[in-house]
Homo-oligomer: A and B are copies of this chain.
Amino acid sequence: MTVSDASEKDKAVDLEVIQGRLAAIEQRLENLEESQPEDKVALIIFSGDLDRVLAGFVIATGAAAVGQEVSMFFTFWGLGVLKKQTVLSGKNLFEKMMAVMSPDTSKNLPVSKMNYFGVGAKMLRKMMKDKNVSSLEEMIDMAKEMGVKMLACEMSRDVMGISDDELIDGLEPAGVGSFLGESLTSKTNLFI
């Protein structure tokens, strides 16, 4: 064997080692790329207060407007945003009581402070209109048109006895797992 032959062999070995390292690197890169959170937003709308819900929709429509994927999980009082009417038949006593004391549609959501039996909420809506800010109902429509995913928490619906007839169209059923799945791949997660 000449010196040149030996170095030839070394280089062949080197090349093989290098190709091995490259393959390993490419696999690690792929794993990293696949596990990256995306420019997505996942919001839990727990609150049923007009002011907090509005903040949620400003964020949702703002994100959708710049091309971000947005999911909104409506749970507990937040389900009030999705109601188009209250249907008492089929509800048990407690469910009826809760339904009667809760807003029947998004139009009657209270504000979290200074509500004064709805006067505060009306005042806020008037102030928004005066400044040409979209109303909650307009924002809900905008969000839907922009492809914002709207999910209704099954467990809350079950506990409160809210039927399909009471909710607006275009909702997807969801559990805590749906939110957790979305939140793993979303860069922005908020509990509102």
Contact = CB atoms under 8 A, between A and B. Distances in A.
B26 A29 contact: no
A63 interface: yes
B29 A25 contact: yes
A34 to B, nearest CB: 11
A143 to B, nearest CB: 13
Interface residues of A, number: 72
A66 to B, nearest CB: 7
18 contacts: A7-B8, A14-B15, A15-B18, A21-B26, A25-B25, A28-B29, A29-B32, A35-B36, A51-B76, A55-B75, A55-B76, A55-B191, A59-B176, A59-B180, A62-B175, A62-B176, A94-B123, A187-B189
